[in-house]
Each structure stands twice: as structure tokens, then as C-alpha cells.
Amino acid sequence: MCKILLLGDKMGKIKNLPEDWFERKKIAADPNTSQDTLAELANDIDWRVREGVARNHNTSKETLDKLSEDDITYVRLGVAANSNTSPETLDKLSKKDKARAVRYTAMDTLREILWKQAKR
């Protein structure tokens, strides 16, 4: 373990995490990782780690909303595919994202969420 620099709101904050991005992504993708740790990893300098957070179904709606504005398409695509993303965020991505794949994935995820709610 070593100390790495995180980006975003917590610029300069140091947290003990593995130096290797692949190891941090494994933590980000683990469904048992806490929402607090996922929120920290959402600020990681490596987009592949942020993508892991975006695809994790344990990530909070607030963190997913923040990641929906990431510059990297793969991160936003992960948010669009995550059924824990709020309908409001999915609606925004489906209408306004610059990447067609993100827009279509957000529409599909939103449709799936609404269909499950209708079945109840």
C-alpha cells in the first residue's frame, strides 16, 4: 500500500490505497466496498477506477450523479448502465450526453427501472 493523490472535490486528499490502478479498480468493482470508499474512489485520477465505481451497484445515487458529468465516456457509460442511478440522472444522460452509446444505454436502463416499478 502507498499513498496516492485523488482528484475532484478532494484534490490533494491522501488516502491509503494500492498504487496500482488495477488493484484500485478491483476495490471499486467489489460489491462489498462501502459507499464512503466508493465516493473517495470516484475522485481517482485513473478513469478506469472511476468506471469501476460507476458500474458498482453499491455506489450511492449522489456519487453516480457526480460521475455522470465525468469527461470520460466510459465512466458515463458505466453510470448509464447502473440500475442504481436515479431516474433523473438517467433522463439527463439520455437527452443531453454527447455520446450516443451513453444516451441509448441510459434510455434502456431507465426503461428497465420503470418497467420493474410498473410490475409491482
Q: What's the Cα-to-Cα distance from 66 to each of 16, 69, 85, 114, rounded to whole Å?
A: 23, 6, 11, 22
In terms of pTM, does the model score above 0.75?
A: yes
CA-closest candidate to residue 45, choices 100, 5, 102, 99: 5
pLDDT tens, 40-67? 999 999 999 999 999 999 999 999 999 9
What are the cell numbers at 40? 473517495
Residue ranges covered by each domain of the chain? 2-119
pLDDT tens, 70-113? 999 999 999 999 999 999 999 999 999 999 999 999 999 999 99
Distance CA 71, CA 105 (A): 17
